[in-house]
Amino acid sequence: MASAQTSLVIVTNIYPPYVNEDVKNSFLPALFDEIGKEMGVRFDIRILPWKRCEQSVEDLDAWGAIPYTPTENRHKVFLFSEPIYVADSQFFAYRDPQTSPFSRPPLTYTDIGDLKRWRIGGIQGYYYEPIFAAAGINVDYALSERQNFERLKLGRIDLFPAATTVGWHLIKQLFPPEIVENFYTLEKPLIADATLHLMTAKDYPDNYALLERFNRALKDIQQNGTFAELVDQYGLVMRY
């Protein structure tokens, strides 16, 4: 079946700079175009809310979802490709010039439990949910990165974890320069060198063969320079 497969549905959400509002003019869709050429398939990229992305893969309505970080719970249901990109995740904070420095988070922390005193925002379904639950940290969840950065600016939350590249990209889109300069990240990352993957369902037809072909095609474009060209084209950093 894998050799006969000519079109595969991939679901994702708008996630700049990896997937922009102009979906076709985005790093991950462009990357998948090149991988598809190597595999001899066409990827049909569809935009869905994050929760529906995961459900679509589980229901076999889509072959895969991008970009996802493996977790213990996800490994029970899904298979993951080789890493398609590597990124840090850090806690973002906002220093309101009109408030005391003692009323905002410090520049670093030792253990995640040190952050319990601060109001932390998040997005339900993200990889960090079990991390916070295990640490006994209550999180105020919202629907998107945009909402959380706006809440940071308004002082409704104190910290928000996000992929570093995604966070700064979105902050610069949302706010003028004089506001942007008041955002900062805690020095210690929540996750250093977090790997982003294609996530697929274990019981998708002929999935092991498809994933093997995908991984081989990904390796080929990494070795022939195509991957580096796309990273440069879309203003990312070469880390794989």
Query: pLDDT, tens digit, for every residue of 101-149?
Result: 767 888 889 999 999 999 999 998 788 988 899 999 999 999 889 999 9
Q: In whole angstroms, what is the distance from residue 75 CA to residue 126 CA? A: 14
What's phi and psi for 95, nearest 5 deg? Answer: -100, 105
Query: Which uninterrupted H or E stretch holds 140?
Result: strand 139-142
Q: What percentage of residues in the chain have a pLDDT greater than 70?
A: 96
Q: In whole angstroms, what is the distance from residue 3 CA to residue 29 CA? A: 22
Closest by alpha carbon to 50, among 151, 149, 144? 144
Whole-prediction pTM:
0.76
Q: In the block, which residue shows the tokens 């390796």?
A: 219
Question: Are 91 and 160 within 8 A, CB to CB?
Answer: yes
Question: Are 81 and 198 within 8 A, CB to CB?
Answer: yes
Angstrom distances, CA of residue 232 to CA of 228, 229, 235, 239: 6, 5, 5, 11
Q: What is the pLDDT of residue 1?
A: 43
Strands 191-201, 85-94: parallel, antiparallel or unpaired by DSSP? antiparallel
Query: Which uninterrupted H or E stretch holds 151?
Result: helix 145-154
Q: What is the pLDDT of residue 4?
A: 52
Q: Tokens at residue 182, please?
A: 């008041």
Q: What is the pLDDT of residue 139?
A: 95
Per-residue pLDDT band at 238 (split at 50, 70, 90): low
Query: pLDDT, tens digit, for every residue of 157-200?
Result: 999 999 888 899 899 999 999 999 999 999 999 988 888 999 99
Q: Which residues contact 26 (CB under 8 A, 6 or more apart)?
A: 16, 17, 18, 19, 20, 234
Query: pLDDT, tens digit, for every residue of 50-95?
Result: 889 999 999 999 999 999 999 888 999 999 999 999 888 999 999 9
Please check the confidence at residue 45 and state whether its pLDDT lies above 60.
yes
Residue 42 DSSP code: E
Domains of the chain (ranges; CATH) run: 7-81+197-233 (3.40.190.10), 87-192 (3.40.190.10)
Q: What is the pLDDT of residue 220?
A: 97
Q: Tokens at residue 73, please?
A: 């719970």
Per-residue pLDDT band at 3 (split at 50, 70, 90): very low
